[in-house]
Chain A
Amino acid sequence: MYRTLLIGLDGATFKVLDSLMNDGVMPFLREFLARGVRADLLSTPNALTPPAWTSLVTGRTPGHHGIFDFVHAEEGAEGLYFTLNMSYDIRCETIWSIVSREGGSVTSLNFPVSYPPWPVNGHVVPGFTHWKHLRRSVHPPEFYETLKTIPGFDARALSMDMNQELKSIQYLPPEEYLGWIEHHIKREAQWFNIARHILEHSPTDLLAVLFDGVDKLQHLCWRFIDPEIFPSHPDPTESMIHERCLDYFRQLDGFIRDLVRLAGPQARIFLASDHGFGATSEVFYANVWLEREGYLRWTEEAAKDAAGFMSADRIKSHVVGIDWKHTSAYALTPSSNGIYIRRADGAPGEGQRAIAAEQYEAFRRELADRLLAFRHPVTGRQFIKRVMTREEAFPGDANSRAPDLTLVLEDYGFLSVLNADEVVKRRPEEAGTHNPLGVFMAGGEGIEGPQALSQLEIIDVAPTLLHSLGMTIPEDMEGRVVTECYQREALARLPLEYAGAAKATAAAAQLETQAAEEPVRMDEDEQEKLFAKLKLLGYME
């Protein structure tokens, strides 16, 4: 078993990290990768924080773990009922409980869908938790008293106000940008302090900490961070915001450095993100499109979106503006990028427009075809790149809460569920949005570096962590151990162990294939060529 450290960087992308490393903003990360492993990490079909991190910590795809969004809604006799996804909504085991079950100790800090906390052998401080509920959210309960002894601990600074976060990633007046960035600099320090305290005083076999400020900053400040977009001659305000963003990443680099050093030279270090990032400049008003195509009707009270802002309470209340009796399909949340079809199942109040079972497939197919046929009203280009059915996007026995159709927009942006006077509107400013390719990095004892691997999948991280801990990998994990990141001797010392014959056979075959191929190594010359290529592509200065 090796002490294992997982550092989550929500929304991190090599497009930004390579630029920051090259510019000297993240010198430790550059040094880490000079000896370590890197790879693109493919996110879940809808590249979104709750399903993606849940896939990372379970080694299973969303169709098997059952988390597709921050919330889920169920249409029952009383109407549409929204609630937050909780830890008990995850339909399979997480690495937190697997490690505990196998006799190890684990710390989970700031991961979503972690409340209520699992009763693990170790510590859990869930992410996405308002300070008001932090004490009740922590495991073990007495650990909250320990948190209060950490110098500088501030529950309000640590926690997340979902309404404020949701508002801020959509729009803030320019004069509030610096305060927003400062807020996340302080918040990230709180999580670092907890991780540091645990490593110093009560280390666990696996410590996992998630820094989500990367995502929050990139949503709002993408145009100040993306090296392709940031102006070569910025005005004073742009410079100030850009520099403050760099301060955030400088601090983050220091946190990574300190945690790696505290973990010790015998530890294995993994860094990963749930998805990448890119730019988005337009909004697709899905429910407006559905209304114009005859699938949805607004109530007379439904107001048109003036500013395009969405809050957690507005997500719940926007459905009040939908005339359910005359609606057969609707978009529920921006984050799901999904369309739900109302099914006629005999429940009272379903209305005339619910779709009977025998008509469902044809109805869904036609809806998908019409979405794909939609053209941008000004440019005429195809705006919706892909439409996936539930079975295509999320195969598995836990997909009943998934949307009937999941959209992928041309810029990977999120749709809007609000009412508006146009189907497509230009954003006031270019914003950041999620992108399918996140990051995977590894270093430490037994890691074969430097090397760049082929693209991995987010479900590969959990089995790789379990292998690092010397633990048996459950047979139902869909991901694989990334054996190519290890030195041969390290693999020989710690062979893979699966709970089930089928997986063991497949793993052995993979290792044999690997042994026959030339090892992928990147020497200094190749590194320089990679950096040169990145410069040509405009990812680096």
Chain B
Amino acid sequence: MKELEEKVRYRREQIEDDVIGIVTGMIRDWDEDFSGAVKGETQLIADLDFPSLDIAVLVAEIHRFYQQKHLPFERVFLSNGLPARDIQVAALVDFLYEYLND
């Protein structure tokens, strides 16, 4: 397992720091008084009130950060063919860990 982890290009901890940084940066742009901490268990809709447009922008910012295009984010945002009720930051991190290291 350690040998497998050493082969990955992106460590999970680093991805989590990156995603939290992107989300926090987005919130600070519209709420300069924001002082909460975004964590892995933070939910984009319930905790941060992200409408679908903000989620689309988050996807674009993640693509931009990692210099990627067209990562299959539907695997995170859809569940049984329907829009997911909410998305945890940790779920995004898990998805990126899998696909960035693919």
Contacts and interface: CB of A to CB of B under 8 A. Distances in A.
Interface of A: 74, 76, 78-81, 83-84, 86, 88, 115-116, 130-136, 162-163, 312-313, 316-317, 320, 324, 349
Which 4 residue pairs spanning A and B have beta carbons closest together?
A: A79-B81, A81-B74, A78-B78, A132-B30
Given A312-B52, A317-B83, A76 B74 contact: yes
13 contacts: A74-B74, A78-B75, A78-B80, A80-B78, A81-B73, A81-B74, A81-B77, A83-B56, A86-B60, A115-B60, A134-B29, A316-B52, A317-B83
A84 B56 contact: yes
B100 interface: no
Interface residues of B, number: 27
B78 A79 contact: yes
B29 A136 contact: yes
B59 to A, nearest CB: 7
Contacts of B83: 316-317, 320
B25 interface: yes
Contact of A132 (B54, B60, B80): B54
B96 to A, nearest CB: 16
B29 A133 contact: yes
Interface in B30-79: 30, 51-54, 56-57, 59-61, 63-64, 69, 72-75, 77-79
Contacts of A135: 29
A249 to B, nearest CB: 30
Interface of B: 25-26, 29-30, 51-54, 56-57, 59-61, 63-64, 69, 72-75, 77-83
Nearest to A74: B74
Contact of A136 (B25, B63, B78, B81): B25
A133 B26 contact: yes
Contact of A313 (B52, B77, B81): B52
Contact of B61 (A78, A131, A136, A324): A136
A81 B54 contact: no
A312 B55 CA distance: 13
A489 B83 CA distance: 61
A136 B57 CA distance: 10
A127 to B, nearest CB: 14
B51 A313 contact: yes
B30 A79 contact: no
Given A136-B57, A320-B83, 12 more contacts: A81-B74, A83-B73, A88-B69, A116-B63, A116-B64, A132-B26, A132-B30, A132-B54, A133-B54, A313-B51, A313-B52, A316-B52
Contacts of A86: 60, 63
Contacts of A313: 51-52
Nearest to A79: B81
B18 to A, nearest CB: 15
A232 to B, nearest CB: 43
A80 B75 CA distance: 11
A349 B81 CA distance: 8
B53 A78 contact: no
B73 A324 contact: no
Contacts of A131: 30
A88 B67 CA distance: 10
A7 B87 CA distance: 41
Contacts of A83: 56, 59, 73
B82 A88 contact: no
B13 to A, nearest CB: 24
Given A116-B60, A313-B51, A320-B82, A132 B29 contact: yes
A134 B51 CA distance: 16
A324 B56 CA distance: 24
B23 to A, nearest CB: 12
A84 B53 CA distance: 8
A163 B61 CA distance: 21
A233 to B, nearest CB: 44
A59 B63 CA distance: 26
Contact of A130 (B53, B61, B80): B53
A116 B78 CA distance: 24
Contacts of A115: 57, 60
A317 B78 CA distance: 12
A78 B74 contact: yes
B20 to A, nearest CB: 16
A88 B63 contact: yes
A79 B74 contact: yes
A132 B32 CA distance: 11
Nearest to A162: B53
Nearest to B77: A81
A316 B81 CA distance: 12
Contacts of A130: 53, 57
Contacts of B30: 131-132
B33 to A, nearest CB: 14
A78 B81 contact: yes
Nearest to B25: A136
B38 to A, nearest CB: 16
Contact of A78 (B51, B63, B64, B79): B79
A111 to B, nearest CB: 16
B77 to A, nearest CB: 7
Count chain A CB atoms within 10 A of each CB in B60, B73, B79 and give the residue with the most. Answer: B60
